[in-house]
Structure 1
Amino acid sequence: MKKQHKWFFAVAAGLTLTSVVSTSCVDDIKFGSAFLEKAPGGDVTSDTVFNSPEYVRQFLNTLYTFQYYGLPFRNSSSDAYPCESSNPYVGKPEALTDCYIYTYLSSGIVNSYYYGTHTSNYGQRSDKWDYLKNRVWQAVRYGYLIIENIDRVPGMEESEKASIVAQAKCIIASRYFDTFRHYGGLPIIDHSFSGTDASYDLPRATVEETVNFMIKLLDEAKEVLPWTVDNPQTNAGRWNRAAAMALKCRILQFAASPLFNDDVAYAGGSSEAEAQHLVWYGGYKAELWTQCLQACEEFFNELNANGGYSLVQSKGTRPEDYRLAYRTSYAELDSPEILMSTRQFGYDAFKSGNYIWHQWGDPLGTTDASRNGIRRGYTPTQEYVEMFPWADGTPFDWDKTAAEGRLDEMFMTGSPNGGEDGKSNIVLTRDPRLYEEAIVNGQPTALDWTTGNMSGRSFEAWVGGYDAQQEPDNQTGSFATGYAPIKYLMGPDMLRHYTQWVVLRLSDMYLTYAEALCQNNRLADAIAQVDIVRARVGMKGLAECNPDKNLTGNKDALLEEILRERACELGMEDTRFFDLIRYKRADIFEKQLHGLRISRTGEFAGEGWYNGDKTQPYPTHFEYEKYELSNPVRYWWTNGFDAKWYLSPFPLTEVNKGYGLIQNPGW
């Protein structure tokens, strides 16, 4: 894997920020949440910070640490860590979709959502996005402190001041969008308001006002920022014009979608929030999809003119070569595909003592022979696995494959010792992205970062196998569904590597562009954008592979394929959950999900191979049975999906403060 970047957004105890951009000998400053409220003579005041270019740069670095990092990595309620959503005891929203289940039954996701007990009077680690505990409003305030005070910094070039302000605006907009997609219209804060005044009035803005506010910040920022960061080796992870324009596309995509943009409000229209247009536009506006399309076209026009970003392409034509290209696209710190990412330096190295994402969720994150690690994770469902087509791009059909007697080939052919001289002759048979989104039976444990060669033993996902043990029967652990997670994990392949959270990447932009084209009835153009993403992993075109779906003439069918393609390309990146939310897909949220029970046959049924009699040929024939997931049964599966679940409730204590925060429908 390539050399690490030198520049990271560090989160340290007490928020001690060390500038690595400058070589100045100025002392580092500790920024606490209320440091600017100190009286003169205190440790740090605004006069101290904004009297030094170096301190301002450190302050900007602090602001960067307040951004969203989407992998739950640390259990802490300390103010020194960025977001409650980064706590594994909360859980990721992707576990509420049809793609994953979360096997830690004491998490907020399970207790509040799987069991259907959530209320607006919730406490710590209960909501998927706590309104107050994700450092959103701290980031907004810090951003405006920079904007309001930058002009009085002595000895700083005007161009650097403008760049710092533009970066602050991007962070404010991104933090607003992080929250907007959970709550709808938000109070508009346009200055360094502390929220500690004795009395104040800060009502929710409408959806339209909130969207316009975010877009205005990004439009202003993009006029200043460079298309790419000036020095990727030191400044990767800084906001740039490409990222600002891409975030604009994503905001408009969400705003134009049926949750907020429909003929009828999502909860029926009788609530105060709906009447005041706090959770929708008040009717369907086709021009919103036009605006989204125009933003996408502007982005790709800039890309064509300036370059700087590209999809990672395969160096060969084997399925594992395409798999490596896909892995590299999101996992390499210097991937040319990444427009914006966030990191948690000091916590995100595999086997780090502080980084729970790997400790809890990686099936290879433990070295004990009994495989008895923590093994709590986001295990892929059968429904998700069946979304991935065959390697050539044609749809996978379970019933057809079973009727043809080919279920043993649904993941790969060959075995670890089935070739000449007992070597592996495994050939992957499905969309190469599948093996980066889920660990399937027979999949080799390692993928070389340079050659793409697969090696190591094969995962044994059958009941009684070395890896799965009894987990599919008990519906617990990493293999609770008969599959295990791998995205952002990758076992020893990630040793001494750092795990970034990809905020925006180019393949997402192609698929966003495709969706906007589809919604504007340019179906052939939409298919062409999807095909760019599919070609990167060696698959044929979407329409060619689905001749029975009339994708060039059936808008609804094409939209379904785009959403499926987004799930396959952007798994574990928060995409599926928000796609289902913005399209109001109660039908999918209500759907009973399944795992796959794989059984070894013959004399050694119920036994592992790796920890058993390895003189026998590696098993290649199994029996397969889909089973209903029931540990636990989701409330939505048996009681239906109430429309209130589309948005989170504001905390009742916050609503009761009386500054104008109107509750979301149903809560």
Structure 2
Amino acid sequence: MKLNIKYIIGVAAVATLGMVSCTDEIKFGNSFLEKAPGGTVTADEVFSNPEYTRNFLASIYATQYYNLPTNSTNAAPQCQNYWKGMPDALGDDFHIFFNNTTVFSKYYGGSLTSAIDGNKNGNIYPYTNEFIWENVRHCWILIERINEVPDMSDAEKARIVDEARCLMAYTYFIAFRWYGGLPIIRQSFTGAESSYDLPRRSVESTVNFMLELLDTAIANKALPWAYTGSEAQSETGHWTLAGAMALKCKVLAFAASPLFNDSQPYYQGKYTLAADTCAWYGGSKPELWTKLKTACDDFFTQMRSQGHYQLIKPAGNTQEDYRYAYRIGYIMENSTEILHSVRRSRNASGNDYGWFNLGFGTEVDGSKTNDRYSYCPTQEYIEMFPWADGSPFDWEKAEKEGRLDNMFIQGDTVKGKQQLQNIRYTRDPRLYETAVVNGARQAVNWGDGRASGNNWETWVGGTNAKQNPKTNSGIYATGYRMLKYLVGSVMNRKFPQWNAIMLSDIYLTYAEAIVQTGGSFTEAIDYVDAVRARVGLKGLVECNPDKDLTSNKENLLAEIMRERACDLAFQNERYFDLIRYKRADLLERPLHGLRIYRLVKSGNTWVRSEDQWYNKSFNKGLAEDDPNFYEPSHFDFERFQITTGSRTWWSGGFDPKWYLQPFPITEVNKNYGLVQNAGW
């Protein structure tokens, strides 16, 4: 049976596309309909006017994958729906405690099936409700009809066509990581054709199709390398040559990894697949790693030639300088570390940035928030971040040396001063941008990264965490709170964006490619060290003398993956790093939180207290000899296993079917060649 195209790419009128552009608010929905008699807009009308055509392109940008859920909706694209949950909560770095999300109920609980509901939603990335096929069709419409547009230069037409190619490749890449091989669409279709032959294609064919789109855009050189100067404000967010070359690296990195590129398929020994090549290359192909290395070589050669993109250099050598360098690297629209970013709005109003509104709120302590954003960092993740000098954090060693009290900050108790003085942040600066940790200061200056004000109290009973760590619930359920892309109250009314590709990602991908192709480990380490240096960390080899990193491949790859986790939080990377390397051992490992107990001196002994300090003791007229006068600096610590949302993988093992997602059974049963993934 041939595929009825209506089921996969639809025949929606062009007029229904687009709500918000990547850079400007546009009128392309109901407002746009007013421009045409009779209440409809045809493709002929869209391509008869340059502005309509640009708006059409903007409507495709508006439905790119965006990793930060911002609102409640059953509509596509589902990436914006906070009831679904984020992929980041499936790895070992974060755990979500909101039980009404798909992640909590269907993934942690193990109840996911190939069924979908009446809104076409099922898994975390619904095959028929993410604008996958609508975007592909719209891109082809642009490519096929751009030459009809009057009063538009050939250069702009060529640029728009290559932007459409990048948009299509990006759409395919996001879906590829979830599903493996996909149907390949090579034209727009009208919906009037009698039949269509669009079966699911192999991993190799799908990868080659993405590379074909990107290689064409790269070779054409119609895209600018970067948007700079006056163009940057209006055009940043559009695909560039740098973005296209970086996306090619990411496609090849996933393709070359063991999930698809191994001596046997990932489901070997438990399941079978009607067409193995849909989820497997058919064997191990080392040349894929070579292709990745070549793509990275090409990117960095072009970057050295064209300039603009670079890792942010800290203004000084303080912890604040390093933290600020990391922050502006990912949060500022004009950052030279961002290779491609996606926006949900160009409006600076906090009300348009749901990730901030519900994830932090307008109070300096983030108290106006919601459990829907309880993506809590795990203890395993926190321990990935090294000490401030770059040496590994080792719990047992720190406990033996008596350093646990200072595992986040260290300060001086000064007579007459209630708060600790001369605060030193003792860990990797990226930690403080990623998670709320005990003792760190709440108010962070937008302009220089310096922190001041109240201390975060994440101990059991503390002002901020309250009883969350004890009950294993709420936004401090693990004893930590997520902070990435929130920054703090300074983010209120700033422009929202999410970065699809970061320069540090490509640095670390290049290091990985060098190692996997048998290149110089020293050269690979240099690329990792460049990422570490911008946040003040010493080199990998110096900090890990016992790991033999210049010759031990397994150890060096482990360090690269750890660096990726620390640098790319909420970049949709850690979970997929575990997936592409088939790390069932880490996915089925129970995760933990940290219960901190404040200790108060009672006579000659220390006793636990679950009282707040700042709200009850600071500036409350206490005498200096009162045991509650000074800011707490001595604690007990208990690492505990997460029980709320205990993942089925932790008790029953990681079933290999989870490496890829199920296609909707309703689509499979249409018999147009959509082969179901193994185990579903």
TM-score normalised by structure 2 residue count: 0.90
Q: Which amino acid aligns with 1:448?
A: N
Matches within 5 A, 1:317-336: 317-336=317-336
The answer as to 2:657 corresponding to 1:644 is yes
Out of 131, 137, 143, the residue aligned to residue 139 of structure 2 is: 143
Aligned alpha-carbon RMSD (Å): 2.6
Instruction: State the SS of the aligned residue for 2:460.
Output: coil
Contact 2:362–2:368 (8 Å) recurs in 1? no
- Whole-Å Cα distance in 1 between the matches of residues 425 and 251 of structure 2? 37
Distance 1:355 1:391, change over 3 A: same
Instruction: State the SS of the aligned residue for 2:429.
Output: coil
Q: Which amino acid aligns with 2:611?
A: E
Instruction: State the SS of the aligned residue for 1:612.
Output: helix
For residue 654 of structure 1, what is the aligned residue in structure 2?
Answer: 667
Q: How many residues align?
A: 642
For residue 615 of structure 2, what is the aligned residue in structure 1?
Answer: 611
Which digits, 9 at most, give the CA deviation of each residue in 1:279-301, with x for residues without a partner?
Answer: 01000000000000000000000
- Whole-Å Cα distance in 1 between the matches of residues 247 and 472 of structure 2? 38
Matches within 5 A, 1:472-487: 472-487=469-484
Which digits, 9 at most, give the CA deviation of each residue in 1:428-449, with x for residues without a partner?
Answer: 0011111111110001112212
Distance 1:215 1:31, change over 3 A: farther
For residue 492 of structure 1, what is the aligned residue in structure 2?
Answer: 489
Distance 1:378 1:642, change over 3 A: same
For residue 5 of structure 1, what is the aligned residue in structure 2?
Answer: none
Contact 1:475–1:629 (8 Å) recurs in 2? yes
The answer as to 2:174 corresponding to 1:178 is yes
Q: Which amino acid aligns with 1:552?
A: T
The structural deviation recorded for 1:76 is 1.5
Matches within 5 A, 1:113-192: 113-123=107-117, 124=119, 125-192=121-188
Distance 1:509 1:209, change over 3 A: same
Distance 1:14 1:596, change over 3 A: same
For residue 215 of structure 1, what is the aligned residue in structure 2?
Answer: 211
Distance 1:536 1:29, change over 3 A: closer
The structural deviation recorded for 1:98 is 0.8
Which digits, 9 at most, give the CA deviation of each residue in 1:294-327, with x for residues without a partner?
Answer: 0000000000011011111111111121011101
Q: What fraction of aligned residue pairs are identical, expressed as a percent? A: 48
For residue 197 of structure 2, what is the aligned residue in structure 1?
Answer: 201
Instruction: State the SS of the aligned residue for 2:442.
Output: strand
Instruction: State the SS of the aligned residue for 1:379.
Output: strand
The farther-off stretch of 372-381 and 539-548 is: 372-381
Q: Which amino acid aligns with 2:616?
A: G
Which digits, 9 at most, give the CA deviation of each residue in 1:324-363, with x for residues without a partner?
Answer: 110110011111111110111167743x1x543223332x
The farther-off stretch of 176-185 and 610-619 is: 610-619
The farther-off stretch of 56-65 and 374-383 is: 374-383
Matches within 5 A, 1:304-319: 304-319=304-319
- Whole-Å Cα distance in 1 between the matches of residues 21 and 202 of structure 2? 39
Contact 2:348–2:493 (8 Å) recurs in 1? no
- Whole-Å Cα distance in 2 between the matches of residues 429 and 14 of structure 1? 50
Out of 502, 507, 522, the residue aligned to residue 505 of structure 1 is: 502
The structural deviation recorded for 1:20 is 8.0
For residue 109 of structure 1, what is the aligned residue in structure 2?
Answer: 103
TM-score normalised by structure 1 residue count: 0.91
Contact 1:14–1:31 (8 Å) recurs in 2? no
Distance 1:31 1:65, change over 3 A: farther
- Whole-Å Cα distance in 2 between the matches of residues 371 and 219 of structure 1? 47
Contact 1:599–1:622 (8 Å) recurs in 2? yes
Distance 1:178 1:416, change over 3 A: farther
Which digits, 9 at most, give the CA deviation of each residue in 1:87-138, with x for residues without a partner?
Answer: 1100001101111110111100011100000001133554111111111111
Contact 1:262–1:283 (8 Å) recurs in 2? yes
Q: Which amino acid aligns with 2:633?
A: T
- Whole-Å Cα distance in 2 between the matches of residues 43 and 583 of structure 1? 49
The farther-off stretch of 294-303 and 89-98 is: 89-98
User: 5+ unaligned residues in a row in structure 1: which ranges?
Assistant: 1-11
Which digits, 9 at most, give the CA deviation of each residue in 1:199-232, with x for residues without a partner?
Answer: 4331011101000100111111122212113611
Q: Which amino acid aligns with 2:670?
A: K
Out of 403, 410, 425, the residue aligned to residue 422 of structure 2 is: 425
The structural deviation recorded for 1:606 is 0.7
- Whole-Å Cα distance in 1 between the matches of residues 209 and 472 of structure 2? 45
The farther-off stretch of 120-129 and 191-200 is: 191-200
The farther-off stretch of 449-458 and 266-275 is: 266-275
- Whole-Å Cα distance in 1 between the matches of residues 413 and 130 of structure 2? 46
Out of 567, 588, 595, the residue aligned to residue 590 of structure 1 is: 588
Contact 1:371–1:467 (8 Å) recurs in 2? no
- Whole-Å Cα distance in 2 between the matches of residues 21 and 107 of structure 1? 31
- Whole-Å Cα distance in 2 between the matches of residues 416 and 311 of structure 1? 37
- Whole-Å Cα distance in 2 between the matches of residues 617 and 282 of structure 1? 65
Instruction: State the SS of the aligned residue for 2:616.
Output: coil
- Whole-Å Cα distance in 1 between the matches of residues 102 and 324 of structure 2? 34
Matches within 5 A, 1:262-273: 262-268=262-268, 273=273
- Whole-Å Cα distance in 2 between the matches of residues 367 and 330 of structure 1? 21
Matches within 5 A, 1:282-297: 282-297=282-297
